[in-house]
Chain A
Amino acid sequence: MSSLPKRIIRETERLISDPVPGITATPHEENLRYFDVLLDGPSGSPYENGVFKLELFLPDDYPMAPPMVRFLTKIYHPNIDRLGRICLDVLKNNWSPALQIRTILLSIQALLSSPNPDDPLANEVADEWKNNHDKAIQTAREWTAQYAK
């Protein structure tokens, strides 16, 4: 493996020394491009009090290409599918090399606060979110209590 770019080292140091509230990202010792992420469910959302596990990987062409991020904890959300894949513009077309790991994780946290059922990745969840909103919120709460511990 080629040596780690300075930017990645610097980002990692800052994630540890000056962490974003409610977010921890820890690199694997044997692969410093692979991070274990713990993300607190935002207060006021059905994910409140949940701690969600994600994996984040910085591809070789990072920061020209976005990090790859996936939920490992089961979550009931219209923009996150059963495999934990996330539908979020900044992870795809709207990526910019001026964004960083911390800004991406903040965007994901914001996505939990404001789901977008009109651009769904999990169609059934999105339908429920639009047509039976109270029940969808209830399910999201139940899943959070059950899985996001």
Chain B
Amino acid sequence: MPTYEEEHGLNSTNNNTEGERPNRLTVQQALNNFINTPTDSRNNLSNSINNSINGINNVDFNLLNQMMNSMNTILVDKSNTNNGVSNEFIDRLERVNVKQLKNDDTCPICTNEYKDDSYPLVVELPCNSKHRFDLECIVPWLKINKTCPLCRIDVTIKKELPVLVDSEEEDEDWEMYG
């Protein structure tokens, strides 16, 4: 029997999203390789650069190394802040029953009508039950961002129940201005 993922083509989506931002990963790996290279082989590199390119003399490898390190810090910083949600979070997203979908409801990301698909797989985000998307469309976004595309709220923050304002407290607030 085909698994759920196979039926909904989730594996291919996962593969795609893991390849998201390939450039950043590659640059970061390259930097790591460079930083972790023993100084000797870097000097060899320096020699070969000097030999092959006229005009580049006395490459300051300390300076270069500093620059590489700070660039790496920036890249690590960026990749941390851009981290999306976990797979568990995606698995736990609320599914929207097809019966709740109107005929002209569209996904805000692909702009297709949900019902174009005879078996639409639609989820809602915890920020608002009206913030619905095709699962296929929202997953690549949530893999790199924690925010709802419609309201920018961090979807991983637990929704707080609205706190009923105590009437006494409200009175006190007013006294402050009175």
Contact = CB atoms under 8 A, between A and B. Distances in A.
Nearest to B81: A93
Contacts, number: 30
A7 B109 CA distance: 8
B130 interface: no
Nearest to B140: A64
B150 interface: yes
B149 A5 contact: no
Nearest to B150: A98
Contacts of B110: 5-7
Interface residues of B, number: 14
B47 interface: no
Among B20, B149, B150, the most chain A Cβ lie within 10 Å of the Cβ of B149
B112 interface: yes
A96 B149 contact: yes
A11 B149 CA distance: 18
A94 B109 CA distance: 15
A107 B123 CA distance: 29
Interface of A: 5-7, 10-11, 61, 63-64, 94, 96-98
